[in-house]
């Protein structure tokens, strides 16, 4: 489902060039849960951005479902990303002042579908995670665990074959973290490919994880 080949990403740090990613090789099949370990600032978020087609590599190639997205123009890359990638942001990126239903339906706006169909799909995505009862609530008043599930429902609304999650258990207590990880394991069992970036031991030790890799000085290594 996902393949990275000799991927590098560098940025300018004043007058110096800083290598964030160096020679990344990674392959993730459908139904696999892969966790990328590493402390804050190690480049995990950058790696997820490159893998999901939101950032271009400085060199190397990224393939999504066999298509080399790292060579495509922005518009075409965005279209593939909308169809094939769900992204759970570390800060969740929910829009305050909007209802749960409105937040979950946001990814459907570029599709130009009717409001009724968007509502139906958003409710179905919420039901998948057993949070449809929150549909009319404002996201502002929800707990951390509830917000996490709402953001995940939004990432899943198109049933993407690839899901990228940045620190998915951040700020969750033990019970809510375990419940979320069980939900993710269920998605993998249904054929979704998942890549989680985390430094949380609860993620690293979860039984549903198929592979664990550490991002160390820009390179992926066995832990």
Going from N- to C-terminal start, the domains of the chain cover 30-54+85-221
Integer-rounded Cα radius of gyration of the chain: 17
3-state SS string over 17-35? Answer: EEEEEEEEEEEECCCCEEE
Report strand pairing: 33-37 vs 16-28: unpaired
pLDDT of res. 40 = 85
pLDDT of res. 112 = 85
pLDDT over 90, % of the chain = 75
Residue with tokens 């087609």: 53
Rounded distance, CA 133 to CA 100, Å?
A: 10
pLDDT of res. 71 = 87
Residue 171: pLDDT above 80? no
pLDDT of res. 197 = 96
pLDDT of res. 63 = 96
What's the pLDDT tens digit per position in 85-141?
999 998 899 999 999 999 999 999 888 889 999 999 999 999 988 899 999 999 999
Just give the CATH number of 30-54+85-221.
3.40.50.300
- Long-range pairs of 178-184 with CB within 8 A, sequence gap ≥ 24: 178/202, 179/145, 180/145, 180/148, 180/149, 180/152, 181/206, 181/208, 182/208, 183/129, 183/149, 183/152, 184/33, 184/208
Beta bridge partners of 33: 194
Rounded distance, CA 125 to CA 117, Å?
A: 12
Quote the mean pLDDT of the chain: 93
Confidence of residue 10 (pLDDT cuts 50, 70, 90): very high
pLDDT of res. 9 = 96
Q: What contacts 57, CB < 8 A, 6 or more positions away?
A: 7, 8, 9, 21, 50, 70
pLDDT of res. 13 = 81
């Amino acid at each position: 489902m996902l393949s990275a080949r000799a991927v590098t990403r560098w940025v300018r740090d004043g007058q110096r060039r800083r290598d964030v990613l160096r020679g990344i090789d990674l392959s993730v099949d459908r139904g696999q849960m892969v966790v990328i370990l590493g402390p804050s600032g190690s480049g995990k978020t950058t790696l997820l951005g490159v893998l999901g087609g939101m950032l271009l590599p400085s060199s190397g190639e990224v393939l999504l479902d066999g298509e080399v997205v790292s060579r495509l123009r922005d518009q075409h890359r965005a279209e593939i990303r909308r169809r094939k990638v769900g992204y759970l942001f570390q800060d969740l990126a929910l829009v305050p002042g909007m209802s749960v239903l409105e937040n979950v339906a946001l990814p459907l706006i570029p599709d130009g579908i009717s409001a009724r169909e968007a509502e139906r799909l958003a409710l179905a995505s919420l039901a998948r995670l057993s949070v449809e009862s929150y549909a009319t609530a404002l996201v502002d008043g929800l707990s951390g665990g509830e917000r996490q599930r709402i953001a995940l429902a939004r990432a899943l609304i198109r049933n993407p074959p690839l899901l990228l999650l940045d620190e998915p258990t951040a700020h969750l207590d033990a019970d809510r973290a375990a419940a979320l990880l069980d939900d993710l394991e269920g998605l993998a069992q249904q054929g979704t490919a998942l890549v989680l970036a985390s430094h949380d031991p609860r993620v690293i030790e979860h039984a549903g994880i198929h592979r664990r890799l550490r991002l160390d000085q820009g390179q992926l290594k066995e832990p």
